[in-house]
Amino acid sequence: MFTGYQLLDQSHVLVTDENGTVADIVTAEAGNDVQRFNGILMPGHINCHCHLELSHMRNRIPSGQGLTRFISSVMKFPEAGQAAKEQSMALADIEMYENGIAATGDICNERCSIQQKVKSGIQWYNFLELTNLDDAKAEERVAFYSHMANEFKEALPSSNVALSPHAIYSVSPRTFSLINDNTKNHTITMHNQECADEDELFRYGRGRFLQFYESIGRKAAPLPVSGKSSIQTWLPYFNNGQTIILVHNTYMHEDDIVFANEYAAKNGLQLVYCLCPNANL
């Protein structure tokens, strides 16, 4: 039996109440009706970072091209109908459930996943992901996603919902500030240092993100060049008791980890590092 922290020997017995809720793990005499199984009994897995609504794109976007080309491919991907999306989401939901995933933190850019989640056996935490490059549109975008959050809450009353920024290269300063104001003591999430170009952009104002901005008609990133790494540039926007799931962290350096943990301790934040090596191929 694996508790999530340690592997116990065969003398231990898991005790549940009549509803199936775990009550205790004991080594003393457990009474009658003890069931024995071959294999390992363990808690359900947590999928910290999922894009359920993009399931229809699975295996249809080339890997190995770098993040900026991947983002461009997602943006240019042909629009799929709701029926196709629902079919792909249902298959992905079943696959996760059958592989022992009990709860999922899901990135949501639209409403299309709601009906699948109503039917799902998984517990969902819905991160409504904001992208907004212009301060002038910040209030409008936050209001739009706040309204969407109410729709998620009404349809999925047992699930959690929180606004979350996409990444440093896609969120303006005012948008960061409004998200901070709207997520006091919430768990939120953000892609962090997924590629070397993030640091290249904010340390030196160069790299492949400049080409990406040009391709969408922009001349610069939404945040000014800071001379600092990505996380040292964006983390100071948060000071409202949030738990922040940092996703990827592929190019996070030791001094970034020291900075982030010290800043979090001083400002009442909790940081959780979600590593996704398979997603960075």
Same domain? 217 vs 266: yes
Q: What would the pLDDT profile of 62-97 be if each residue is shown by its tens digit?
A: 777 777 777 777 777 778 788 989 999 999 999 999
Q: What would the pLDDT profile of 117-141 be if each residue is shown by its tens digit?
A: 999 999 999 999 999 999 999 999 9
Same domain? 85 vs 13: no
Domain that holds residue 37: 1-43
User: For the chain, how many structural domains are there in total?
Assistant: 2
Same domain? 82 vs 137: yes
Same domain? 226 vs 154: yes
pTM score, whole prediction:
0.88
Same domain? 136 vs 23: no
pLDDT, the chain, mean: 92
* Gap between the Cα atoms of 206 and 59, Å rounded: 31
Same domain? 116 vs 184: yes
* Gap between the Cα atoms of 222 and 148, Å rounded: 24
Highest averaged pLDDT of the listed ranges 78-92, 198-212, 257-271: 257-271
Same domain? 118 vs 228: yes
The residue among 21, 241, 47, 239 whose CA lies nearest residue 125 is: 47
Same domain? 206 vs 88: yes
Same domain? 14 vs 108: no
Residue 161, strand partner residues: 126
Same domain? 12 vs 72: no
Percent of the chain with pLDDT over 70: 98
Residue 132, strand partner residues: 171
Same domain? 32 vs 134: no
Which CATH number covers residue 74?
3.20.20.140
